[in-house]
């Protein structure tokens, strides 16, 4: 079974709009109208730029000076568009906390189109919070300032940590209020992604038994993200396998960093393998595999430890949607899909354990490494050790190979950073086994091992209390300095920064943030 050529043509060509300052291709808008709805602009009172991601703009071949101009800011706010740009809202469905909703879609977002970056990769630009669309379902279509700043910081921090993710191009104040529990300042996020095609996009067509639309979407996605699959004898099966692999590797990276997405609904799973939508997300502090931050996740469906199984659950929904394309006979299609899904667990475990090995300084895999990692996590849980700080502490040469002189230095380090001293003392039973395992690695200098570990164990993450503090200051005081500082610190996560020790420590008891919110 070969994919059709139409989806490939849409993905490769589309409608080109040559602006004065950049060329925009509206490839998704070239698909049939049932894939999207035209999005009308909703002007705002006084758009103003909060932050422009200058380096990303340059990578995308955009002119930062023009984006920061009045015309550019108006576009980024969804206030007015340069002539020739007609935004669209994408249609999709999705399972939300296990319940299927056949009609979702971009209720507060609009896709402007594609640009080609300096590496030749095609990227979409989308505005989030730009007003009502035909798919808003009674929502106001707006975003409050807090969630916009949260997504900006979180997505850029994730990019700096090496995690596939959507990116933040700009954040803009609208000058207007949005109403949630209380009136809040409004804002718009300009988001960049490989595409915004989700598992829920496929579910949209499958639920309608629109097999022609399903095939067209699959062809488009293959051409866009997995072009090698088009050459396969079974392209749609290989497409499914590629998405499964991408998600297994993505979730492993989340787990290696203690990241909790918070809302792993099928409409939040991008088939590109990028982290999509930063609503009630957070980085775990003290290690607890049952950690949940999302206020609405009362039963812990998307708890930290559940993320691999929830990813597989979502991927199973994708496989169900693709069944008509996998084989003419349903029993054969189900068998093929199940075989593909069965690969997820091994792929996830391989990626996860490789990441954990790197975090504790191991390069040569041995069978007992899984138990060594699990024993560490058990000790961290028992002693409520901070996830990020523990692994960073292990990267100190004094911890790896203590001598009388090094022990004295370790105590000095501990005097400056009490948490590091606590990590060493509370892991006393685990450390000898780890040091024995390090000795099996061969001739590696302590300095080289420490450097390799520090390259994968961040010193700085967007800790929840810091994120909430910068949001509070931006809202209550109209002070963006905390946002700017947190962004600067967390986008350079691996290098120690002078005078920034407070950004590396966990929350004090009075600073702990127990719940995060989506903001819709």
- Report yes or no: 51 and 152 within 8 Å, Cβ to Cβ: yes
By three-state DSSP, how is residue 186 classified?
Answer: strand
- Name beta bridge partners: 143: 187
Half-sphere exposure in the Cβ direction for 45 (13 Å, CA) = 6
**Phi, psi dihedrals of residue 247, rounded to the nearest 5°:** -75, -35
Whether 297 sits among the annotated catalytic residues: the reply is no
- Consecutive H or E run containing 96: strand 94-96
By three-state DSSP, how is residue 284 classified?
Answer: coil
> Whole-angstrom Cα distance, residue 173 to residue 244?
38
Instruction: For residue 425, count other CB atoms closer than 10 A to its CB.
Output: 11
Say which of 267, 297, 314, 386 is annotated catalytic.
267
State how beta strands 15-18 and 23-26 pair: antiparallel
By three-state DSSP, how is residue 25 classified?
Answer: strand
DSSP 429: T
- How buried is 172 (Cβ within 10 angstroms: 0-12 exposed, 13-18 middle, 19+ buried)? buried
Q: How far apart are the first and last CA of the chain?
A: 42
Residues with active-site annotation = 267
């Amino acid at each position: 079974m070969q994919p059709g050529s139409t989806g490939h043509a849409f993905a490769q060509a589309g409608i080109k709009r040559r602006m004065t300052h950049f060329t925009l291709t509206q490839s998704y808008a070239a698909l049939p109208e049932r894939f999207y709805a035209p999005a009308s602009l909703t002007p705002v009172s006084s758009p103003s730029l909060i932050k422009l991601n200058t380096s990303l703009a340059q990578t995308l071949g955009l002119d930062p000076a023009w984006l920061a101009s009045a015309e550019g800011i108006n576009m980024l706010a969804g206030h007015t568009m340069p002539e020739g740009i007609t935004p669209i809202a994408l249609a999709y469905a999705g399972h939300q906390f296990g319940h299927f909703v056949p009609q979702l879609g971009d209720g507060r977002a609009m896709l402007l189109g594609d640009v080609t970056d300096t590496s030749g990769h095609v990227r979409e630009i989308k505005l989030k919070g730009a007003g009502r669309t035909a798919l808003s379902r009674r929502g106001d279509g707006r975003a409050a300032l807090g969630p916009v700043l949260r997504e900006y910081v979180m997505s850029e921090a994730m990019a700096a940590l090496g995690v596939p993710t959507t990116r933040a191009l700009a954040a803009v104040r609208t000058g207007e209020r949005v109403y949630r529990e209380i009136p809040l300042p409004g804002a718009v996020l300009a988001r960049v992604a490989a595409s915004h095609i989700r598992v829920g996009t496929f579910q949209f067509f499958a639920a309608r038994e629109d097999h022609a639309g399903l095939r067209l979407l699959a062809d488009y996605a293959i051409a866009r993200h997995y072009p090698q699959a088009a050459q396969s004898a079974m392209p749609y099966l290989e497409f499914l396998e590629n998405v499964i692999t991408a998600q297994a590797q993505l979730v492993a990276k989340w787990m290696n960093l203690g990241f909790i997405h918070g809302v792993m609904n099928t409409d939040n799973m991008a088939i590109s393998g990028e982290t999509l939508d930063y609503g009630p997300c957070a980085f775990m502090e003290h290690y607890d595999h049952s950690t949940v931050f999302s206020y609405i996740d009362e039963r812990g469906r998307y708890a930290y430890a559940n993320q691999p199984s929830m990813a597989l659950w979502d991927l199973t929904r994708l496989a169900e949607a693709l069944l008509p394309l996998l084989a003419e006979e349903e029993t054969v299609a189900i068998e093929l899909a199940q075989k593909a899904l069965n690969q997820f667990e091994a792929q996830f475990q391989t990626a996860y354990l490789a990441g954990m090995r790197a975090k504790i300084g191991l390069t040569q895999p041995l069978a007992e490494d899984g138990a060594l990692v699990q024993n560490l996590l058990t000790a961290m849980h028992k002693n409520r050790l901070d996830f990020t700080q523990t692994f960073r502490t292990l990267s100190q040469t004094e911890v790896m190979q203590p001598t009388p002189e090094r022990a004295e230095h370790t105590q000095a380090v501990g005097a400056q950073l009490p948490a590091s001293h606590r990590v060493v003392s509370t892991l006393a039973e685990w450390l000898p086994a780890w040091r024995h395992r390090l000795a099996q690695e061969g001739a590696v200098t302590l300095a080289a091992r420490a450097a390799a570990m520090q390259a994968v164990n961040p010193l700085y993450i967007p800790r929840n209390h810091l994120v909430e503090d910068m949001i509070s200051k931006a809202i209550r005081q109209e002070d963006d300095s905390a946002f700017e500082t947190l962004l600067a610190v967390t986008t350079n996560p691996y290098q120690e920064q002078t005078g920034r020790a407070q950004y590396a420590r966990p929350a004090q008891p009075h600073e702990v943030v127990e719940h995060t919110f989506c903001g819709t």
